[in-house]
Amino acid sequence: MHLTHTRALFLMVLVTLMWSIAGVVTRQLQAAEGFEVTFWRSFFTLVALAVLLPLLQGRTLWARMRAAGWALWISGLCWSVMFTAFMLALTLTSVANVLVTMALGPLFTALVARFALGHRLAPRTWGAIVLAGIGIAWMYGRQLGGGGAGVLTGTLVALCVPVAAAVNWTVVQRSHAAGRDLDLVPAVLVGALLSSLTTLPAALPLSATPHDIGLLALLGVVQLAIPCVLAVRCARVLAAPEVSLLALLEVIFGIALAWLGAGEQPGPSVLVGGGLVILALVGNELLGWRARR
């Protein structure tokens, strides 16, 4: 199907909705927890992509993956960290906390690119980093001050997601600068493989019920594998700021679904702090878009 700009916009909104179901689905699990949750989701993602990618990209996929070199495996390692940290964080803290922390990814990427690749940051980006930092400090400071010390562990685990994402995008940019464009979807497959292999020993003995396995299969296929393929397709049509702004819908959808579907109501500190983070990200992208135009 040929993707027009309008179709790509609506498809990207659908992608963010699919991404956002992770929190509410995880809250419906009966027995699986911790590393087992991560293992099953990564395993089903691996199976889905192993079927989808050869159908979509042809028989030369495996040869191109072998020729991609070290960048593919570093990117895959980053995806593995993101998969593992995201699901573990969901078992340690609220869906809202995890999603707002993950939203820091674009700002972390800008910082890593500044020091690793020498990219200059515009004043608006520095301002967005400061504002987002205030939002995160407010959100978690208020929670810790109210006796929620357990939130700290979940926060630190969730922070691994935007940090790994920043490293991943830096690797992709360096690979592109060297004349070797890195296909992110096969890198996701590598990430699912690494995540499955590394979390399986910690997940044993497996205790997931058939109900749990069905839900985790839903996450692996519908929440991760399919939207990943669609997002890469949309990114070929949409401008980078459009993708960044639309991706923030995952935070809104995810918090709303967890609230409606699992009764997980975000507190005032999360709403205020998360609002500052979203404001910083939206403002930075809109100002940058305006400057480039």
- Quote the number of domains for the chain: 1
Q: How far apart are CA 46 and CA 185, in angstroms?
A: 11
With tokens 């490293």, the residue in question is 167
Total-model pTM: 0.85
DSSP H/E element including 140: helix 123-145
pLDDT digits (tens, 9 = 90+) for 126-184: 888 888 888 877 777 766 655 555 667 888 898 899 899 888 888 877 776 666 767 77
Structure tokens at 70: 């070290």
The pLDDT of 256-261, averaged and rounded, is 90
> Inter-axis angle of helices 268-292 and 249-262, to 10 degrees?
160
With tokens 């360096």, the residue in question is 174
pLDDT digits (tens, 9 = 90+) for 218-229: 999 999 999 988
Q: How far apart are CA 50 and CA 43, in angstroms?
A: 11
Q: How far apart are CA 206 and CA 42, in angstroms?
A: 15
Q: Is the pLDDT of residue 28 over 90?
A: yes
- Category of 119 on φ-ψ map: left (φ > 0), alpha (ψ -120 to 50) or beta: beta
pLDDT at 202: 93
pLDDT at 126: 82
Question: Exposure string (b/e) for 278-287, b if CB count within 10 Å is 16 or more?
Answer: bebbeebbeb
Q: Which residue type does 262 have?
A: A
Residue 229's nearest CA partner among 189, 194, 182 is 189
Q: How far apart are CA 115 and CA 117, in angstroms?
A: 6
Q: Is the pLDDT of residue 47 over 90?
A: yes
Q: List the domain range (segments joined by +) for residue 246.
A: 5-292
